[in-house]
Amino acid sequence: MKGLYLVTPDWDDTDKLLAATEQGLLGGASLLQYRHKTASEDLQQEQASALLALCRRYRVPLIINDHLALCEMLDADGLHVGGTDASVAAVRTLLGKDKIVGASCYGDLELARHSAAAGASYVAFGGFYPSRVKKYAVTTQPDILTRARAELSLPFCVIGGMTVENSKPLVELGADMVAAISSVYAADDQRTAAADFVRLFSS
**Can you state the angle between helices 41-58 and 14-26, rounded to 10 degrees?**
30
Residue partners of 103: CB distance under 8 A and separation at least 6: 80, 81, 88, 111, 112, 115, 120, 122, 123, 124
CB 164 within 8 A of CB 134: no
Instruction: Please identify which of the residues 30, 92, 104, 115 carries the catalytic annotation.
Output: 104
Catalytic, 202? Answer: no
Instruction: Please identify which of the residues 134, 149, 168, 199 carries the catalytic annotation.
Output: 134
Q: Please tell me whether residue 184 adopts helix, strand or coil conformation.
A: helix
Instruction: Please identify which of the residues 30, 35, 115, 121 carries the catalytic annotation.
Output: 35
Catalytic, 40? Answer: no
AA letter at 87:
S
Catalytic, 134? Answer: yes
Q: Which of 117, 133, 110, 47 is nearest to 125 (CA)?
A: 110
CB 82 within 8 A of CB 124: no
Give the separation between CA 185 and CA 8, rounded to whole angstroms.
8
As annotated, the active-site residues are 35, 104, 134
